[in-house]
Amino acid sequence: MRSRSTGRGVRRPLPLLVLGLGAALCLPAAAQAGALARALDHLAARQDPAGGGFAVGPGTDPTYTEWAALAVAAAGEDTRRWRRGRASLRAALVRPMEGTTLAEVERAAVALAAAGLDPRVATDRNLVREVLQAQRTDGTIGPDPSTTAWGILALTSGGLGRDSRAVSDAAEALRRIQRPDGGWALNDADPRSGPNTTAAAIQALIAAGHDAEGSFTLRRARLFLLSAQNADGGFPPVVGGPSTALTTAWVSLSIRALGERGSRAPWDRAGGPLAYLRSLQRPDGGVRNAAEATEASVWATSQAALAFSGKYLPHRRLVPRPVPLRAPWVVSRPPVRAGGLVLRFRDDPGGTGVDPAAVRLRVAGRDVTSRAVVTSAGLRLPGSLVPRGRPTASLVLADRAGNGRAIRWRLIAPPDR
């Protein structure tokens, strides 16, 4: 898990870390849940040190950054404290916005609000006003059902109440354009309803005040999603196609918005959508978008983390809980004795765990890792390899996601040597 640093910026070696540090950190219970904690481990190790955001490669991309911010906020963590370098995740959200589409404006508004920021003033543009300006006289927002649904999420994130004219008109428009099969298509030209747009519409209608049990519109939408679920428990972007992590995670949010759980009937085919997402999670916490994919995706991992959190959109957490230290730490470091140097270390409960292959120990400038017995829980070095006097030792730890920590201290050889 991540290392402590000055202002949670550039990593610096730590002094002795002792038993009991985990309690002092006040780790959020949600972030300790296995699948969620591992997904956050993966994201933390891939944050851009320079810009504070996320992308496929180096640098920052708004789409990946906003989805990661939504996942972090859903886990109850503070985007201000998410950083690997000088810039935080929250700083990456507050960026100049040029040439953005309406869909991008809406998603940015929802992400900013989730991070505890006001989308009307957080950036150089009033995003709520832009969404309002895109609303048509028939209540729709933008060119298609997806922008209308996300428009409702953006408006309610930005502080408009369910009884506001803009929100109620958009919800009524969304209800009118529901397809006979109970779903919504991405746009009018698409002949088929899609699980992704339907999941967005469900969350938008719930945000607009529709009751999951009392709304005929939502009951029809629920039946459409049930018919779209695959035998593996996941959901496809196109009905009848293979399941993907992105669509499965997104639909999982709408299931929660309906007040149901994907692990229970009638959604529990093959264990349900969350079980399908867990099947795509790698040992380093990353989530592949499809069963045949070999690499994890930041986008898929972020949306899966949202699903693992049990939250749905929009969510606002203005007073987030502390961010856990995501790099492993030393919990026991007794003096060198005749039996040698013994270290005990651990990762946060539910995290990806210490990677023994990433452990490196140097004593008096010499790499002695190959002479030590290293496991995921500790290390033992024969006393004969510790020079007399007070040699310097340095230890490098990392979890399986790649979050690292380095410590340095003075050894004291046994008095009988």
196-223 pLDDT, tens digit each: 999 999 999 999 999 988 899 999 999 9
Range with lowest mean pLDDT among 248-257, 315-324, 395-404: 315-324
d(C-alpha 147, C-alpha 163), whole Å: 20
DSSP bridge partners of 282: none
Pairing type for strands 378-381 and 360-363 reads unpaired
- pLDDT given for residue 155 in this prediction: 97
In tens, the pLDDT along 107-147 reads 999 999 999 999 999 998 999 999 999 999 999 999 999 99
- pLDDT given for residue 353 in this prediction: 94
Neighbours of 359 (CB within 10 A): 21
In tens, the pLDDT along 291-322 reads 999 999 999 999 999 999 999 999 865 455 67
Query: Which residue has tokens 């959020």?
Result: 28
For residues 152 and 334, the model is more confident at 152
Closest CA to 341 of 329, 356, 330: 330
- pLDDT given for residue 97 in this prediction: 83
DSSP bridge partners of 241: none
In the predicted structure, residue 105 carries a pLDDT above the cut 70: yes
In tens, the pLDDT along 20-49 reads 323 322 333 333 369 999 999 999 999 999
DSSP state of 169: H
Q: Which domains does the chain have, with CATH numbers?
A: 1-27+325-417 (2.60.40), 28-309 (1.50.10.20)
- pLDDT given for residue 111 in this prediction: 96
**What does residue 281 show for φ and ψ, rounded to 5 degrees?**
-85, 130
Helix (H, G, I), strand (E, B) or coil at 379: strand
- pLDDT given for residue 378 in this prediction: 96
In tens, the pLDDT along 280-292 reads 999 999 999 999 9
In tens, the pLDDT along 312-357 reads 999 865 455 677 778 999 999 888 887 799 999 999 888 999 999 9
**What does residue 131 show for φ and ψ, rounded to 5 degrees?**
-65, -45
Return mean pLDDT, the chain. Answer: 89
For residues 416 and 161, the model is more confident at 161
Token pair for 132: 């309002």
- pLDDT given for residue 365 in this prediction: 94
DSSP state of 361: E
Report percent pLDDT > 90 for the chain.
77
Q: What is the pTM of this model?
A: 0.86
Query: Which residue has tokens 């790499």?
Result: 367
Q: Is 180 exposed, middle or buried (0-12, 13-18, 19+ CB in 10 A)?
A: exposed
User: Which segment, 183-187, 250-254, 407-411, is predicted with the most confidence on average?
Assistant: 250-254
**Mean pLDDT value across residues 154-163:** 94
In tens, the pLDDT along 64-92 reads 999 999 999 999 999 999 998 889 999 99
Amino acid symbol at 140: T
